[in-house]
Amino acid sequence: AEVMNRVPVIWIELQDCAGNSEAFIRSDGPKVDEIILEIISLEFQETLMAAAGHQAEAQLHDAVETFKGKYLLFVEGSIPTAMNGFYGTIGPSGETFEEHLTRLSKDAAAIVAVGSCATFGGVPAAAPNPTGAKGVMDIVKGKPIINIPACPANPANMVGVILHYVLTGQIPELDSLLRPKFAFGYRIHDNCERRAHFDAGEFVEEWGDEGAKNNFCLYKMGCKGPMTFNNCSIVRYNEGVNWPIGVGRGCIGCSEPDFWDKYAYERPM
């Protein structure tokens, strides 16, 4: 396969908190400066770019024209569909987020939905979902879509998808939820550092108890590691420093569809 040089990337933010942009710039290998200066050509990214207003709009327009059919479109945030999409509009034309996404998807080589909002609707889609929030795959049809859920998506997985694409010209192998298998083929519980305590029946029973001090298993405190597929138990976050279970508060299944309604903070009966 042809080895590509600096793949063009357009990154848009819809109904989001910019947490995935924040996570992305904390990539530890390669670091963000190497990614931006040597691996991708970051054509548009609202949080990182200097341009604003009409200048930013012009840059987006130029990037789409120049790299038609070649750019990766990164999407962060959900798409509000209630009230004709008026919960989210952008630019001088007052285009809705849905129109914006549909227009920019048309000329993309592939779409990378980052974070649980862009993949499955995430927190904005939690009941009662006032904005009618949806994920990219519910809106965009007929284009390759790669889902990298989690809140935020792990930079290792975002960068992994980019490097795979740069080196092979292909998107990585995906599972039925369009997630890269290299990242989401693992169950948290199967690679958890507290698993021996689970197997031994040693649980944290109350916050701050002796079990908590001894890093016992968090299942009884509501840990959703047994139902969650993600590789954070292996790669961790923040340069491998730590991750939710490592800091002792359990997994809330942040990378699973509908996690907020189904999983977050509920303790087993």
* Binding footprint of ligand SF4 on the chain (CB under 6 A): 188-189, 192, 194-195, 198, 217-219, 223, 225-226, 245, 250-251
Structure tokens at 250: 């359990």
Q: Do residues 70 and 81 lie in contact, with contact meaning Cβ atoms separated by under 8 Å?
A: no
- Nearest approach, Cβ of 231 to ligand F3S (angstroms)? 8
The stretch among 32-40, 44-52, 161-169, 251-259 that binds ligand F3S (CB under 6 A) is 251-259
Q: In what order do the strands lie in the sheet with 7-13?
A: 40-45, 7-13, 72-76, 110-114, 145-148
Alpha carbon distance 52, 91 (integer Å): 11
Instruction: Pick between residue 71 and residue 263 the one whose CB is nearest to ligand F3S.
Output: 263
- Nearest approach, Cβ of 263 to ligand F3S (angstroms)? 8
Instruction: Pick between residue 97 and residue 263 the one whose CB is nearest to ligand F3S.
Output: 263
48 by DSSP, 3-state: which?
A: coil
- Characterize the bridge pairing of strands 89-90 and 145-148: unpaired
Instruction: Pick between residue 105 and residue 231 the one whose CB is nearest to ligand F3S.
Output: 231
The pair phi, psi for residue 42, each rounded to 5°, is -80, 100
- Nearest approach, Cβ of 37 to ligand F3S (angstroms)? 28
Alpha carbon distance 177, 137 (integer Å): 9
Alpha-carbon dihedral 126, 130, 133, 138, rounded to 10 degrees: 100
Instruction: Pick between residue 135 and residue 250 the one whose CB is nearest to ligand SF4.
Output: 250
Instruction: Pick between residue 8 and residue 253 the one whose CB is nearest to ligand F3S.
Output: 253
> CB under 5 to 8 A by kind: which of ligand SF4, ligand F3S, none does 226 bind?
ligand SF4
Applying CB under 6 A, which residues contact ligand F3S? 150, 188, 228, 230, 232, 243-245, 251-255
